[in-house]
Structure 1
Amino acid sequence: MSKRKSLLISVVAVIISGLLVFGLYQLQHSQLMEQETVDVVVPKYFLAAGTMISEENIVVKSLPRSVVTEEMVVSRSEIIGMEAIAPLGENEPILHWRLNYHHLQPRYEEATFQIPKEYVLSISNGIRAGDKVVVYLSSADKPSERLFPQSIVVASVKSSSNTEVDNLQQSHLLSLAEGNQEQMYVARRDANAMIEYLNLNLTEQQWLEIDELCKAGTAKLVVAYSPESYEQQQVVGAK
Structure 2
Amino acid sequence: MNRKRNIWISVLAALLSGALVYGLFQIQQLQLQRQELVAVVVPKRFIAAGVTLMAGDLAYRYVPKAAYDNGMLLDVATAAGMETIVPLGTQEPILGWKIDRFHLLPGSGESTFQIPRDYVRSISNGIRAGDKVVLYLSGEGEGSGRLFNQAVTVASVKSSGNIEIDNMEDPNLLSLADGDKEKMYASRREANGMIDYINLNLTEGQWLEIDGYCKDGSHKLVIAFSPESLNVADETKEDQP
TM-score (norm 2): 0.54
Which position in structure 1 is the counterpart of 2:115? 115
Change (3 A) 1:175 1:138: farther
Q: Using the TM superposition, give the Cα deviation of residue 127 of structure 1 relative to its aligned residue in structure 2, in angstroms.
A: 0.2
1:214 equivalent to 2:237? Answer no
Q: Using the TM superposition, give the Cα deviation of residue 40 of structure 1 relative to its aligned residue in structure 2, in angstroms.
A: 9.4
Which position in structure 1 is the counterpart of 2:140? 140
Q: 1: distance between equivalents of 2:204 and 2:62?
A: 34
Which position in structure 2 is the counterpart of 1:78? 78
Which position in structure 2 is the counterpart of 1:151? 151
2:204 maps to a residue whose letter is E
Q: 2: distance between equivalents of 1:53 and 1:130?
A: 12
Q: Using the TM superposition, give the Cα deviation of residue 109 of structure 1 relative to its aligned residue in structure 2, in angstroms.
A: 2.0
Q: After superposition, where does 1:158-237 map in structure 2 within 5 Å?
A: 158-169=158-169, 187=190, 191=192, 193-230=193-230, 232=231, 235-237=232-234
Q: After superposition, where does 1:1-80 map in structure 2 within 5 Å?
A: 73-75=73-75, 78-79=78-79
Q: 1: distance between equivalents of 2:223 and 2:134?
A: 6
Greater relative contact order (Cα < 8 A, sep 6+): 2
Which position in structure 1 is the counterpart of 2:130? 130
Q: Using the TM superposition, give the Cα deviation of residue 201 of structure 1 relative to its aligned residue in structure 2, in angstroms.
A: 1.3
TM-score (norm 1): 0.54
| Contact kept? 1:176, 1:236, Cα under 8 Å | no
What secondary structure does 1:78 align onto? helix
Q: Using the TM superposition, give the Cα deviation of residue 141 of structure 1 relative to its aligned residue in structure 2, in angstroms.
A: 3.1
Change (3 A) 1:184 1:162: closer
Which position in structure 1 is the counterpart of 2:17? none
Change (3 A) 1:202 1:177: closer
1:118 maps to a residue whose letter is D
What secondary structure does 1:143 align onto? strand
Tell me the number of residue pairs that the alignment of Structure 1 and Structure 2 aligns: 176
Q: 2: distance between equivalents of 1:111 and 1:184?
A: 19
What secondary structure does 2:205 align onto? helix
Which digits, 9 at most, give the CA deviation of each residue in 1:18-66, with x for residues without a partner? xxxxxxxxxxxxxxxxxx9995979xxxxxxx977989xxx998889xx
1:146 maps to a residue whose letter is R
2:162 maps to a residue whose letter is N
Q: Using the TM superposition, give the Cα deviation of residue 184 of structure 1 relative to its aligned residue in structure 2, in angstroms.
A: 10
Identity %: 45
Q: Using the TM superposition, give the Cα deviation of residue 79 of structure 1 relative to its aligned residue in structure 2, in angstroms.
A: 1.7
| Contact kept? 1:155, 1:201, Cα under 8 Å | yes
Unpaired stretches in structure 2, ≥5 consecutive residues: 1-34, 42-48, 86-93, 173-180, 237-241
How large is the Cα RMSD of the aligned pairs?
A: 4.5
Q: Using the TM superposition, give the Cα deviation of residue 214 of structure 1 relative to its aligned residue in structure 2, in angstroms.
A: 0.1
What secondary structure does 2:207 align onto? helix
Change (3 A) 1:39 1:158: farther
What secondary structure does 1:144 align onto? strand
